[in-house]
Amino acid sequence: MELTDRFLKYVTFDTQSSETTGTTPSTPGQRVFAEALVKELEEIGLEDITLDDNSYLMATLPANTDKPLPAIGFIAHLDTSPDMSGKDVTPRIITYKGGDIVLCAEENIVLSPVMFPELNDYKEQDIIVTNGKTLLGADDKAGVAAIISAAKYLKEHPEIKHGKIRIGFTPDEEIGAGADYFDVEKFGCEFAYTIDGGQVGELEYENFNAAGAKVTFKGLNVHPGYAKDKMLNASLLAMEFASWLPAGQRPEHTAGYEGFYHLTGMAGTVEEATLSYIIRDHNRMLFEEKKEALRKLVEKMNEMHPGSTVLELRDQYYNMREIVEPKKYIVDLAFKAMMAVGVTPLVKPIRGGTDGARLSFMGLPCPNIFAGGLNFHGRYEFLPVKSLEKSMETIIKIAELSALKD
């Protein structure tokens, strides 16, 4: 099966994950997809294929040389974002001639280079787009397809010598749970790569340090006609608190290595109000300072209104650079592989996290490599076919180059 056909088949599986079910995988569609992949891996002739109760799928392409080489893993995720439906995805391949692409005529949904100038990089290329009603699912089915096609290619080309290759497909990456039940010991690799990046060339080994915060305000409700000097309105406390945070440190005002506080949700009555934040920074020290600043503001509110405000603060993941940088050859190997297949590596910090960040801290150093798609998590997602091919070629080349070093 050709790589593109493989991808087009995978996006027909509805694997949207859910924040609310509390199960693993969070949705049954991911299990269905994983079971279908098991069959394909069997057909290709991979070994040690295991699909555990939590729908973590692992498989092995054994080494074909006696040379002592590190086992290398390639990892992608089964689920698609909860942000947008991934049901009845109806992809379309078009040769992009420039200008607008009408995704859905009746609802006037248009993929336009005015809004997405990166489209201009793909003129005269075949790109896969949505019908405007769902996401595409290149995040991360492009990664799944690239890994499986690469394994098949290596299996069919025994003249390319390589060490042991391990494949891992995980559920629920999009809800931050992809690494929760990943058995690093069973995977048994010295290092791995997630194939979960965007545009062609992306190579990432730095990500945010991340925490989640929930601030709860308790008020005192009294009949508003007789509230003078008695009422304490929790919603107003929440609004005041939100205004104390630095306005410049919001997602919409930051880029590159700049961190932020992001208000992700608010709810409130007179009695009680809550603010939910995520806190992000590449720099560990600045990250700790941001958390400390929140604690101080909660203290300040409690000084003004004793006992009114409670902070729950929870670290989510850390910057993998701490783990990967001492083993920089892992990044260098991917860099060389990209160059060898004619791709210019774009090394840049991820303004988010990956499964690989948590896996790195679990003992499996794990940079992230492009799968080729753009505009993830929405209806404007698209995947240039050539970028997908380059992702597959990069995987093959990593396997090949890792066996050449002495």
Active site residue 52: no
**Token pair in block for residue 364:** 């499996």
On whether the CB atoms of residues 351 and 98 are closer than 8 A, the answer is no
> Which part of the chain contacts Zn ion (CB under 5 A), choosing from 16-24, 61-69, 189-197, 281-289?
189-197
Q: Which stretch binds Zn ion (CB under 5 A): 31-39, 136-144, 149-157, 258-266?
A: 136-144
- CA distance linking residue 229 with residue 231, whole number of Å: 6
- The reply on whether position 202 binds Zn ion by CB under 5 A is no
CB of 146 to Zn ion, least distance (A): 13
Token pair 């949505």 in the structure block, residue: 130
Q: Does 139 bind Zn ion (CB under 5 A)?
A: yes
Instruction: Determine, following the binding rule CB under 5 A, whether residue 389 of this chain makes contact with Zn ion.
Output: no
Q: Which is nearer to Zn ion, 140 or 281 (CB)?
A: 140
Residue 196 vs 202, nearer CB to Zn ion = 196
Catalytic residue among 14, 40, 140, 173: 173
Nearest to 365 by CA among 171, 146, 168, 205: 205
40 part of the interface to Zn ion, by CB under 5 A: no
Angle at 64 between CA 61 and CA 70, to 5 degrees: 70
Does 172 sit near Zn ion (CB under 5 A)?
A: no
What is the sign, positive or negative, of the torsion defined by CA atoms of 68, 358, 363, 201?
A: positive
Using CB under 5 A, count the residues that bind Zn ion: 3
Cα angle, residue 50 at apex, residues 49 and 56 outer, rounded to 5°: 125
Q: How far is the CB of 198 from Zn ion (least distance, A)?
A: 9
> Residue 78 or 311: which CB sits closer to Zn ion?
78
Is position 204 an interface residue for Zn ion (rule: CB under 5 A)? no
Q: Does 196 bind Zn ion (CB under 5 A)?
A: yes
Given candidates 14, 40, 79, 140, which one binds Zn ion under the rule CB under 5 A? 140
Beta bridge partners of 94: 127
Q: Which is nearer to Zn ion, 15 or 149 (CB)?
A: 15
Stretch that binds Zn ion, among 5-13, 190-198, 215-223, 277-285 (CB under 5 A): 190-198
Whether 79 is a known active-site residue: answer yes
Parallel, antiparallel or unpaired: strands 92-95 and 72-77: unpaired
Residue 337 phi, psi (nearest 5)? -60, -45
Give me the least distance between CB of 148 and Zn ion, in Å please.
16
Bridge partners of 109? 104
Please say whether the dihedral angle defined by the alpha carbons of residues 288, 294, 298 and 300, taken in this order, is positive or negative: positive
Angstrom distances, CA of residue 221 to CA of 152, 216, 242, 268, 270: 66, 16, 21, 12, 6
Q: How many CB atoms lie within 10 A of CB 316?
A: 16
Judged by beta carbon, residue 291 or residue 377, the one nearer Zn ion is: 377
Stretch that binds Zn ion, among 83-91, 138-146, 235-243, 255-263 (CB under 5 A): 138-146
CB of 11 to Zn ion, least distance (A): 14
Active-site residue set? 79, 173
User: Which stretches of the chain bind Zn ion, using CB under 5 A?
Assistant: 139-140, 196
